[in-house]
Amino acid sequence: MSLQHTLSRALKALPRHSALKSASVCLTPALLRFSQIRSASYSTPAGSKLPVLRQRLSALNTTKSGNSFINKRYMAHAAKTRDPKFKQLTAADVGKFEEFLPKSRMLVSQELGGSADAKDLEGFNTDWIDKYKGKSQVVLFPINAQEVSQILKYCNSEKIAVVPQGGNTDLVGASVPVFDEVIISLQKMNKVRSLDQDSGALVCDAGCVLEVLDNYLADHGLTMPLDLGAKGSCHIGGNVSTNAGGIRYLKYGSLHGSVLGLEA
C-alpha cells in the first residue's frame, strides 16, 4: 500500500465537515515518521481532527502481524544480511589506521583492542531520530583530505566498508552504518581555509557547521546561500552532498549552483 493511498484512506474516514478534507497532503515517509514521533510535543486546537488522523494513520499503517506498510514499501531496498565480500575488521586493520591517524583521533571498541565501549560509540551508530542503528566498532577523525585519501585507499584495497558522517542530522539513516562499517567522521575537519571578499569565494573543510560559516561570513558583510533548521549542527559537506534546500533557496537557487569546486 502506498503512502498516498494510506493518507487518502485516513482522510476519507474523517467527518465531512473536517477542514482537512480540502487540504493537500504531501508527506515523505521521513516527515511522516517525524510528525508521529514529535506529535506529543505540540498542542492542537480544541475540536481539531489531527489526533483522529494520527490514530487512523497508525491503525492503517500497521498489519495484524505488527509490520508497517510504509516500512515495507520504502525500506524494501535495505540489505537484510551483511555482504560477505566485505572484510570483517581485525586488530591488524586498526594498527594500519594508526599509521594514518594518532590514537587520540580514533574511537576503537574494546573488542578490537581499543578503550571505547558501546556507549561511546552509540552516538555515531544511531541516527538523529533514534530509528536506524549500526554496529560500527571504529570511528576515525581525519583532519584533512590527505588523511581521508589514505584511509579510503587502504579500505578499498582490503574491501573494508566505510560510511562518511557529518553532523548526523538526516532523517533517513544515510549517515549511520547498516552493519559494522568504519565510520569516517568529519567533525574535526572544521576549518575555514580562505575567504576572498571581492568575489565572495569561501574555501572551507567539509566538517564546518553551517551556522558557524554563516556567522563567520556575517562578520565580513556576506551571507551563506543556505539556511535551514539544522544549521547549528549540520555540516556543509552533508549540505552539499544532499544539495540541501532551505529558506534561502528561492533567492540563491540550488546549493550545487554555488559550489565552485571540491577537493577529494
Distance CA 19, CA 49 (A): 9
In a domain, 176, yes or no: yes
Same domain flag for 169 and 225: no
Domain-located, residue 18: yes
Q: Assess whether pLDDT exceeds 70 at residue 68.
A: no
- Render pLDDT for 81-122 as a digit per residue (tens, 0 to 9): 888 999 999 999 999 999 999 999 999 999 999 999 999 999
- Same-domain status, 127 and 69: no
CATH number assigned to the domain comprising residue 221: 3.30.465.10
- Residue 82 belongs to a domain: no
Q: Could you give the count of Cα atoms lying within 13 Å of 128 in the half-sphere of its Cβ?
A: 17
pLDDT in tens, 3-27: 555 555 554 554 443 333 333 333 3
Domain housing 56: 3-74
**Which amino acid is present at 190?**
N
- Tell whether 179 and 101 lie within a shared domain: yes
> Can you tell me the mean pLDDT for 187-215?
95
Who wins on pLDDT, 82 or 264? 82
Tell me, yes or no, whether 157 and 239 share the same domain.
no
Sign of CA dihedral 67, 70, 73, 78: negative
Whether residues 96 and 169 fall in one domain: yes
Q: By mean pLDDT, which of 49-63, 140-154, 232-246 is the weakest?
A: 49-63
Specify if 114 maps to a domain.
Answer: yes
- Whichever domain contains 146, its CATH number is 3.30.43.10
- Give DSSP secondary structure letters for the chain: --HHHHHHHHHHTS-TT-GGGG------HHHHHHHHHHGGGS---TT-SHHHHHHHHHHHTB-TTS-BHHHHHHSTTS-SS--TTSPPP-HHHHHHHHHHS-GGGEEEBGGGTSSB-HHHHHHHHB-TTS--B----EEE---SHHHHHHHHHHHHHHT--EEEESS---SSSTTS-SSSPEEEE-TT---EEEEETTTTEEEE-TT-BHHHHHHHHHTTT---S---TTTTT-BHHHHHHHT---TTHHHH--GGGG------
**Same structural domain for residues 53 and 99?**
no
Indicate whether 129 and 61 sit together in one domain: no
